[in-house]
Amino acid sequence: MATTPRPSAQREIDYPTSDGRPMGETDLHRQDMMDVIATLQARFAADPMAYVSGNLLLYYERGNKRRHVSPDAFVVFGVPKLPPRDYYLLWEEGKSPDVVIEITSKTTRREDQNTKRALYRDVLKVPEYFQFDPTEDYLKPSLQGHRLVDGEYVPIAPVAGRLPSRALGLHLERDGTQLRLFDPVAGRRLPTPQEHAAAAERAALEAERTAAAAERAAAEAERAAEEAERAAADAERAAAEAERAAVESEKLRRVAELRAAATESENERLRREIEELKKRLQAGES
C-alpha cells in the first residue's frame, strides 16, 4: 500500500509540467482521451484512494527531468485522489500506475509499441497496458490489451468481444471510433461525459414535467375542492330553504286545520240554530 505523498519543501530541480506536445494527434484522439479520463474519474469518484489522470507528465527518476512519460490515461489505486497534481513524481507517490491506456495513431505507434511499452513493462512495471487505434490506421486489432506476467506483457484474451481489465473491474470495447468502458456486473456501458450530461438534462426535463404535472394536479384538486365547497354550501342553503319551507308548510297546515275546525264548529252551531228554529216553527203551527 502506497503512503500519502508528502511534497518536498524544496525540490532538487524544477520539473516541467508540459513536454510541449499536443494533447492529442487529432480532435478525435483528444476527445477519446478526454472521454476515457472523465469516465474513469466518474467511476472512481467515491474512492479517495484512486487517482485517475491522463496527459500528465509522470517522472520516474528522481532529479532527472528528462526521465518522464505522459500516458494518455492512467489509474493508480492506493494513492490519494487529492490534491490535484501538476505532475506525478513516482518516488513521492510510491506507486506506479495499475492501468495505462494509450489512444494511439500512426505518428505515435513507434513510441506506443516500443518505447512506452518497454518503459511500462520493464521500468514502471504497469500491470495492464491497453492501446486503442480509433481510426484503425495500423493497429490490428485496433484495440489491444496486455497484462504483465512474469515480467512480460501477455495479450489479454477478449471476453464477448471486450477486453477485461482485472485492475479496473471493467471491460474495454470499441464502438465506432470511441473507446467504451463496460461494467460486467451491471451489464451496461459506463456513460461518457456527453451521455451523462444528456441523461442529467433528460432527468431535469422529466423532473420539470413531473413538477408541472403535479402543479396542474394540485391546481385541479384545489378547483375541485372549491367546487365541492360551493356545492356543499349550495346543498346547505337548499337544505335550510327546504327546512324553512317545511316549517312554513306545517304552519299553514295548522292554520288550515284550525280554520277547518272553526268552520266545522260554526257550521255545527248554525245547524243547531236551524234545527231549533224549525222546532219553534213547527210548535207554533200546531
Residue 108, pLDDT above cutoff 50: yes
- Dihedral angle, C-alpha 203, 208, 210, 215, nearest 10 °: 170
Q: In whole angstroms, what is the distance from residue 1 CA to residue 152 CA?
A: 23
Q: The pTM is what?
A: 0.71
Q: How many CB atoms lie within 10 A of CB 181?
A: 22
Residue 5, pLDDT above cutoff 50: no
Residue range 191-210: average pLDDT? 87
CA neighbor of 99 nearest in space, from 46, 36, 151 = 36
Which tens digits make up the pLDDT trace of 143-167? 999 999 999 999 999 999 999 999 9
89, exposed or middle or buried, with CB in 10 Å at 0-12, 13-18, 19+? buried
User: In 3-state terms, what secondary structure has residue 225?
Assistant: helix
Q: What angle do CA 157, 160, 164 make, to 5 degrees?
A: 50
Instruction: Find where cell 505507434 sits.
Output: 109
**Residue pair 146/126 in contact by the 8 Å Cβ criterion:** no
pLDDT category, 270, cuts 50, 70, 90?
A: confident
Angle between helices 27-43 and 193-285 (to 10 degrees): 60
Instruction: Find where cell 526521465 sits.
Output: 67
CA neighbor of 173 nearest in space, from 191, 187, 159, 192 = 159
Residue range 205-222: average pLDDT? 88
**Residue pair 188/182 in contact by the 8 Å Cβ criterion:** yes
Could you give the C-alpha distances from 276 to 267, 270, 284, in angstroms and in order?
14, 10, 13
CA neighbor of 64 nearest in space, from 6, 13, 111, 116 = 13
Residue range 177-195: average pLDDT? 95
Q: In whole angstroms, what is the distance from residue 32 CA to residue 26 CA?
A: 10
pLDDT at 52: 98
Q: In whole angstroms, what is the distance from residue 24 CA to residue 113 CA?
A: 17
Q: In whole angstroms, what is the distance from residue 52 CA to residue 74 CA?
A: 6
Q: Identify the weakest region by mean pLDDT among 18-22, 117-121, 220-224.
A: 18-22
pLDDT at 6: 46
**Residue pair 259/265 in contact by the 8 Å Cβ criterion:** no
Residue range 41-45: average pLDDT? 97
Q: Identify the weakest region by mean pLDDT among 27-31, 97-101, 276-280.
A: 276-280
Record the cell numbers describing residue 25, joined without a space: 494527434
Sign for the CA dihedral angle at 4, 149, 100, 188 comes to: negative
Q: What value does the mean pLDDT of the chain take?
A: 89
Q: How many CB atoms lie within 10 A of CB 38?
A: 18
Record the cell numbers describing residue 158, joined without a space: 477478449
CA neighbor of 65 nearest in space, from 86, 34, 50, 94 = 86
pLDDT at 273: 85
